[in-house]
Structure 1
Amino acid sequence: MFSGIVEAKGKISLIKEFDDYLSIEISAPNGFNKNLKKGASVSVNGVCLTSKNNGSKALKFDVIEETINRTNLKQILKGDVVNLERSIKASSEIGGHLMSGHIHYTAKVSQIIDKNNTKDMKISLPKKYLDYVMEKGYIGINGCSLTVGKVHKNSFSIHLIPETLKITNLDELSKNDLVNIEIDQSTIAIVDTVKKTLATQKSR
């Protein structure tokens, strides 16, 4: 599990393509992977990946077809910047919200409004997923725990503070870029339960 508070930005240093998976290496800032153990979970752009090695400067992961197809890792290139977070411990402070690293959808950035020190973004999302997006609710974007600004007919808006722009790769996004979306699991459970309850009542 993760908290959605990005700890560092890493840079893709190597990509090897195989028949049914990618092998990637990521250069991380000094100290990020201290005491990292082989088999540990790391969030890469919000995607839960398994470390192939013990602590060293380069992070190494294998990315299977299912993950490639469901996330924006299918578009990564050498030199790209990705958001990184180590998995949380039971005693960790949850500064954002609990995230699993399981991506529901890759959405397109439809609008970016640059302000003096902040940015507003609009993200397009199909109704299938938009039903779970609530104004002032949580949403995960590229591994960042963010608060939803407004919900529109086919999209939602977010407001990015200077600190978020500084420590994540969201500042590098352009219009039409794909971002990884993780919907809050508790919201999904509540909405689906209410829908089933209402459907049952109507059928009586």
Structure 2
Amino acid sequence: MFTGIVQGMAEVVAVHEAEAFRTHVVVLPEALREGLESGASVAHNGVCLTVAAIEGERISFDLMRETLAVTNLGALQVGHRVNVERAARFGDEIGGHAMSGHVMAMAELVEIDEAPNNRRMWFALPDALERFLFVKGYIGVDGASLTIGEVRPGVGERGPRFAVDLIPETLTRTTLGLLAPGDRVNIEIDPQTQAIVETVERVLASRSAG
């Protein structure tokens, strides 16, 4: 489990490609390497990955076909940076919201509204996820736990959109401050929101059928 509180950024220093498979190597900050062992879970842009090898500050992770297809990790190149978070432990402070590290889809950054002390970003989502969007609800964006500030429903060929407001601290300590329109981010819907919505849908469907 993860909390969506990004603990730092890691630079990709090597990428090894294979058929429907890749290994990428990142340099983890010293604080995030403490007690790290092979087999441990570390979230990269919100994707739960398993430590494959440790060579000093260079940590290797394997990416399977599904991960490459569903997330933005397959587009990473040497020099890119990712948001990282170690798996939560019992007793840790939960400052964000519970996240599984299982990305549901990608969203495209379509608009940026600048303000003196914050930045509003608008993302376009696949239609299937629109029913999980609620103002003041939680959403995971590249591993960062964020609050939805506004929702625009899908109209015609334009899909649903949601906005998040980012303070200077978030822009500084995560890769979200580096995004430009057209970039794609990993999305994880809040598990509690998903469970509630899907339960209500099943109840209503069963009543209609009866």
Query: Which runs of 5 or more structure 2 residues have no equivalent in the other structure?
Result: 154-159
Is this contact kept in 2: 1:142–1:179, CA < 8 A?
Answer: yes
Residues 57-68 of structure 1 mapped to structure 2, 5 A cutoff: 57-68=57-68
Q: Which residue of 2 aligns with 1:101?
A: 101
How high is the sequence identity, in percent, across the aligned residues? 40
Match of 2:177 in 1: 171
SS at structure 1 position matched to 2:84: strand
**Size of the alignment, in residue pairs?**
204
Cα distance in 2 between the residues matched to 1:90 and 1:187: 23
Q: What residue number does 1:36 align with?
A: 36
Alpha-carbon distance, 1:27 to partner: 1.1
Residue of structure 1 equivalent to 2:70: 70
The amino acid that maps onto 1:158 is V
- Name the TM-score, length of structure 1 as normaliser: 0.97
d(CA) in 1 for partners of 2:115, 2:127: 29
Q: Residue 180 of structure 2: SS of its match in structure 1?
A: coil
Alignment of 1:111-130 (within 5 A): 111-130=111-130
Q: Which runs of 5+ in 1 are unaligned?
A: none
Instruction: Report the aligned-residue RMSD.
Output: 1.1
Q: Distance in 1 between matches of 2:83 and 2:22?
A: 18
Alignment of 1:123-202 (within 5 A): 123-153=123-153, 154-202=160-208
Q: Which amino acid aligns with 2:204?
A: L
Structure 1 residue 90, shift from structure 2 partner: 1.2
1:35–1:54 CA contact under 8 A, matched in 2:
no
Stretch moving more, 46-55 or 10-19: 46-55
Q: State the alpha-carbon separation in 2 of the partners of residues 126 and 44 from structure 1.
A: 22
Aligned mates of 2:209, 2:49 — CA distance in 1: 43
Q: Deviations over 1:44-74 (max 9, x none)?
A: 0100000013473112101011100010011
Distance 2:90 2:133 in 1: 27
- Give the TM-score normalised by structure 2: 0.94
CA deviation profile, 1:16-46 (whole Å, cap 9, x unmatched): 1011211100012222111101100000010
Contact 1:17 1:23 in 2 (8 A): yes
SS at match of 1:128: helix
